[in-house]
Structure 1
Amino acid sequence: MRPWLETRFGNPHSPHRLGREAAAAVEVARDQVLAALHCPLPGPREGPGVGTPPEKPSTGAPAGRLYFTSGATEAANWALKGAAARLPEGRRRIVALATEHACVLDTVHWLGGQGFDVDILPVEPDGLVDLDLAARRIDGRTGLVAAMLVNNEIGVIQPVAELGAIARAAGALFFCDAVQGLGRVPVPLGACDMVAVSAHKVHGPKGIGALWIADGVAIDPLLHGGGQEGGIRSGTLSPALCAGFGAAARLLVERAEADRAHVARLWEIARGLTRDWSLNGSETARYRGNLNIRREGLDSARLISELRDVALSAGSACASGSGRASHVLAALGLPDRAARASLRIGFGRYTREEELRAALGRIAEAAARQRSFAA
């Protein structure tokens, strides 16, 4: 990112040499993010090794355009509002899951205030949606369906490919928040019409994301002005942020197998040290770099305050400090007391085994102190 901040600082939308250089860097980054979206992410005994996946999407991959945004919140707002603006009469029904990120749920509820019919699907106690229920509720009146690939609070992987197929069969557009899934689990682009991703969730810079839109899908602009991105997203792009997102996406592709193996090992360590805690969400249908656990009687806010040098949370970062219990845990059927006794612990590429063991040990000690004080 540094050259685009220090010496090669041209506006990527300008025709002079500095501008053309910056524009070229943006396009390189765009290709790198697309490659990560198309990355097959091989399992433990199949597929290419580290560093060998193709740089470009493979032949036959779903065709679409990637537009850079200021983050996933903008991407989700744009996808939902832009698609809803074009829904015909008789198809102004929007369906979303109860465990969606706030940027999706709040946008859907806003659309409900604009005259759209909103239907929020419940999930099962393991955090997964019932596909039979989804098939019944996504009907001929539905114009738009939204479902998150990997839940940001509990790590549960929704059956997005199946949900996308249900939406397509009903004639509805399908939007997927793949922010937590990019580079970690395969993104079923072929089942999606729009996909939101974010750089800072994959070790890239904050302040940049992207919206992928499948060929043939038309949505209205969210931002009006110069139309710098493909004529439908206005605003001057930051070549530095784009380059940072591109570099992070390139590493996702190169390190896919190594990252998977490392996270799998960390998960085994984490579960081994937290077997006496209850797990929130499915044990199997999940990304294993996200551990959400609870213990009866625990005050998670107090524990987090005590462990100020350990990075953990009680819910999503965007809701921290709101005083509200997690809407995701409430959707699982957990009472408020259980939700407030829950902790979210994330780990990944740059987490060392000894760091995870030490953090979990500190958490266990703090929880034990709470129990002793309550006794």
Structure 2
Amino acid sequence: MIAKFAMAVLMCASALLTTGCWNKLEISDLAIVSAIGVDKAQDIGEYRVFFQVANPSAVASGAAAGGGGGAGAGGKAQTITVYRGVGASLFDAVRNASKMSSRRMYLSHVRLVVFGERLAKDGIEELLDYLKRSNEIRLTTNVVIAKGMTAEALMSVATRFEKIPADAIRGKMKFTSNLFSENIEIQLDDILKAVMGEGTEAVINGVELVKRGDKEAESDAPKEKERYSPPSTKIGPIGVFKGGKLKLWLDDGASRGLAWMLNKMKGTVVTVDFREQKESVSLDVLRSKTKVKVDVANDKPLIDIVIRQEAALINVKSGLDLRNPGLIKEIEASMNRKTREEIMKTVQIVKKEKIDFAGFAGKLHRSNRTAWEKLKDRWNEKLSEADVRVTVQSHVRHPGMNLEPVLSKATGEQ
């Protein structure tokens, strides 16, 4: 009897400890934010925050993308609405933007964070601190810079294929990084590690506006039917930071060299010279593996970069008979030279600007802690004195479906 009574008391007491759904969130009370943009006012230095909020019912019905609320073309509701807020601090701007919505801004589904170029030049460390402290924003969120424009201008561009504009930018970034490797998919976690790490600096992709003001040329179309294409976006160069501030932009060659150095080369097309013919052979990089070793000798950094890659021959401007194995060897040697040139171009920027955006400091810190402790206070200065050796081993695995030239053999040396 006593045991049963004790069991009943224990069950009643345990019921008092249950919390239930005290922090539940109803989907009807949430505004699902797909992208966040941040700018800085030129005159007064205030932050301007933009939330790109998805309209679930419009997305499901296939409405046109657009911002600002209201109806889109044909009276359909737009798939996204942009809410704006201004404040002296980032938190004030976020709070003021939230006042514009009848629902709570829900940030767990943010796919993209956009920084305006002016803001990036002034510094993004305060923003990164806010994003890192947030318990909703994921570290896998992609981050870009609106090159040559504000974040608001970029987030206001409508898209043709994707219902949510943030997905369009993420899709372009993924596609171009896989196909060309002239940009790298940068996530919030990558930036935080670079900014908070010793001796390293962050890199972030830029996104540019493509203004299509030219009329679509149609020789048989009447003049009154000539149309103008709306503006679009494209993935631009990679921005390099120093001390949390944007310092410079890398061109396509240096960006591709950086992808090689960071072992993030997913694929690209390399066009090389063959003998006396300029840019006559194009190769598609299928696989690439990079190993970087950093050490110190005589108080000077020693950097050894080794790249092994495989490629397929995709275009030949001259009539080369690829049945000759000697020609394949020559093409591989040309590819080695071209790859090394692009990597050394990036290395020269690292040394000239004294900015370690290639992660050399982290390599030394992990491999030789003692040497790093001696050099860490002078690391940026010592980078300009570094000895860099680049070794490239290229192999043409697929010469194509036809070894014999279609072009006349007279056009090329055999």
TM-score if structure 1 supplies the norm length? 0.22
**Greater share of helix:** 1
**Greater share of strand:** 2
Q: Higher relative CO (CA 8 A, sep ≥ 6), structure 1 or 2?
A: 1
TM-score if structure 2 supplies the norm length? 0.21
Larger Rg: 2
